[in-house]
Structure 1
């Protein structure tokens, strides 16, 4: 993660922030100047006015410490050579500079500050302390001030980093939620298409026959109407099953109806034949005595179901050939072929079923291919045994 700049992690100063910092500076200035103001007034009044002017200048410059941190810190630190009043602003700008954690600049300003403070102490004739005491005090005070400033800067940087990480984590979480919602919508759409398109195509075929066949007897019409009703009920049952599966994934409830597997393929073929389709089903899958895994079997079932649905939509009345081959070692191959119909189909298609099947096959490590081969539509799929 990139390191933040001082401009990023430094908080914006409010009116109260400026006020209490200025008040602390005034107290420090009063404390330092009080040790020299009397002597200045009595013996070197010009120094009194220089001290006052330098102090006022330092207070003005203090408010530009974030715009020009190094220049302001150097100038105010140098002013402490002739102005005790500048001690307050010098402390503040030194801390402000140290929060930027640039060690070279901190050392430079610290050295200037120590020398200037020592010079100001030597100016005072009332100062009877040995040189090493005042110098040691100035060094200790400067190190403490700079250390405190670097601690504040480090803490600000850490808080900014934690806040940035939290914001990034929240954004990532929102992205994951949005992606999960999109995947869930796609999954629902895929399941809805898989279970409903086949039934509705059968209903459409029976309803179309009622509309075009004028030679049907009353008994045949009743039979077709009963078939439509049966397929409608089956569609509703399939819809309930899908909703049950989706609900089960979220709540853990027991499914009301199992999902189709490889063992349900013969029943699917029989239903298609009952509805009037001509289906040649050639199952040469060599399972070697092993049960076909549910995920692989369900995916194969959906491929065959979609192939039947497309044949009913776009080539009603044509012969559909379904071939199953493979083994636990080579995976399951399914091939569906049907002649391309003439004219428009009986039911409009959106193409979403094949797209959804491709996604389903990819999800389980397989592949799906569909194309026109002359006047024949071919749908091929391969699913690994342990999908």
Structure 2
């Protein structure tokens, strides 16, 4: 899992702690830490067992030497089973619990095995192994009763020690699970951050593509119309040819300026506080229509809004883009036709933009201009984000109609 994923920086591995297993632990090579812990546990179990046997031997009525020797031999051999407590903790703990019924030497090793079970197994398994340990200690107390302690006190002491070992092991298990959970949350949060960054990049690319389409498609369609006029009228007077060429050059320059300004606006960070190009609004629609007329497109415009400049910025900008896209599509797909633009509405009633045009009539620019086919899709997304709706299609009268409804709060 990546520890850190910041654009422009390298990634570093972040090792996670191994999750606490609930089943048999797979065999693996012991690390240096495992070797130290295992050897320490073995030496501690042997030393503690010898101390217990020594205390028993020092009593006024010690057991027979043969029993003591057998206890040390069997207990010492059983203590070697701790080496496999990582792979089979339950089996080792139960084996030591059974041997603990007869051997005092194995008691510390049995507690270490019980601790391992408490760390690596479910509570139900831990309680079962703990009960087996208590049963083994009770049997040992019956077979070899202590002179200065009653059977009840021996059992109570065994319960207290077993409960302490189990509680300690389960506390370590809970802490390990908590650490693993926190690490997983951190990794998941970083993964989600990577997804958010990637989504932001995708959104920005989509925004750039939309702005480029809205700005350049309109400008380049005008440029194509002027160039087409030069192509279809090669015998025009030199003055008209020069004028048309000047319009083509001016349109190309304006397209480049629009491209530079759009990219500049999109690259600017909100924190930079730089000057950005004012976005067009509803008040700029008449100028847009007039620009299309100058390019040769026949447009009838009707404005049923008392004050075009009073429209909200989002509503006005969206309405402008709707008219711009509609007129661009008319120049591409229905050259020579007459487009009708109607903008009506007001505060409280909403804003309606309706653009109609008949099918293409041939003539100049009979070859339709190429298009990406995504203009209406992007326009629908823009109108939807503004809280409005968009409808388009052919009417019964044979006209293509594009209608956008946008909110205009009172």
- How high is the TM-score relative to the length of structure 1? 0.87
RMSD: 3.1
Larger displacement relative to structure 2 (14-23 or 152-161): 14-23
Q: Quote the offset at 1:83 in angstroms.
A: 2.8
Q: Counterparts of 1:1-387 in structure 2 under 5 Å?
A: 6-7=20-21, 14-22=30-38, 23-36=40-53, 39=57, 43-45=64-66, 48-49=69-70, 52-53=73-74, 55-57=76-78, 59-60=80-81, 63-67=84-88, 69-100=89-120, 102-120=122-140, 128-131=147-150, 134-286=154-306, 291-341=310-360, 345-373=367-395, 375-386=398-409
Q: State whether residues 205 and 346 of structure 1, in contact with CA within 8 Å, keep that contact through their aligned partners in structure 2.
A: no
- Structure 1 residue 105: Cα displacement: 3.3
CA shift at 1:366, angstroms?
1.1
Partners of 1:57 and 1:32 in 2: CA distance: 11
Q: Decide whether the 8 Å contact of 1:62 with 1:72 is kept in 2.
A: no
Q: Deviations over 1:95-147 (max 9, x none)?
A: 1221257444333322332342354466568x544235544443332222111
Alpha-carbon spacing, 1:269–1:161, altered in 2? closer, same or farther (3 Å):
same
In terms of mean alpha carbon deviation, does 235-244 or 160-169 score higher?
Answer: 235-244
Query: Which shows bigger deviation, 256-265 or 133-142?
Result: 133-142
Instruction: Report if aligned partners of 2:335, 2:361 keep a CA contact under 8 Å in 1.
Output: no
CA contact (8 A) 2:137 2:158 kept: yes
Contact 2:281 2:309 in 1 (8 A): no
Q: Which moved more, 1:329-338 or 1:366-375?
A: 366-375
Q: Which is worse superposed, 274-283 or 226-235? A: 226-235
Decide whether the 8 Å contact of 1:247 with 1:253 is kept in 2. Answer: no
Residue by residue over 1:268-302, the C-alpha shift from the partner in whole angstroms, topping out at 9 and shown as x without a partner, is 11111111110101111256x98100110000000
The Cα offsets for residues 357-384 of structure 1, whole Å up to 9 and x where unpaired, read as 1111111111222212353221111111
CA distance in 2, matches of 1:256, 1:39: 94
Q: Per the alignment, do residues 47 and 123 of structure 1 end up closer, same or farther by CA in structure 2, a change over 3 Å counting?
A: farther
**Counterpart-to-counterpart distance in 1, 2:256 and 2:344:** 32
Question: Residues 190-214 of structure 1: CA distance to partner in whole angstroms, max 9, x if unpaired?
Answer: 0011011100011111111111212
Flag structure 1 segments of 5+ consecutive residues without an equivalent.
none
Contact 1:54 1:83 in 2 (8 A): yes
Residue 77 to residue 8, structure 1, CA distance change in 2 (3 Å):
closer
2:264, 2:248 → 1: CA distance?
24
Structure 1 218/270 Cα, relative in aligned 2: closer, same or farther at 3 Å?
A: same
CA shift, 1:34, in A, is: 3.9
Change (3 A) 1:13 1:93: farther
In 1: Cα distance, 2:22 partner to 2:49 partner: 34
Change (3 A) 1:331 1:55: farther
Secondary structure (helix, strand or coil) at the match of 1:36 reads: helix
- Cα–Cα, structure 1 residues 359 and 303, in superposed 2: closer, same or farther, change >3 Å? same
CA deviation map 1:157-203 (0-9, x unaligned): 10111011111111111111111111111011000110111000111
* Matched-pair contact (CA < 8 Å) for 2:359–2:400: yes
Q: Decide whether the 8 Å contact of 2:85 with 2:116 is kept in 1.
A: no
Give 1:350 deviation, angstroms: 0.6
CA distance in 1, matches of 2:301, 2:332: 19
Q: Following TM superposition, by how much is the alpha carbon of 1:223 offset from its aligned partner in structure 2, in angstroms?
A: 0.8
Q: Measure, in 1, the Cα distance between the counterparts of 2:76 and 2:117.
A: 19
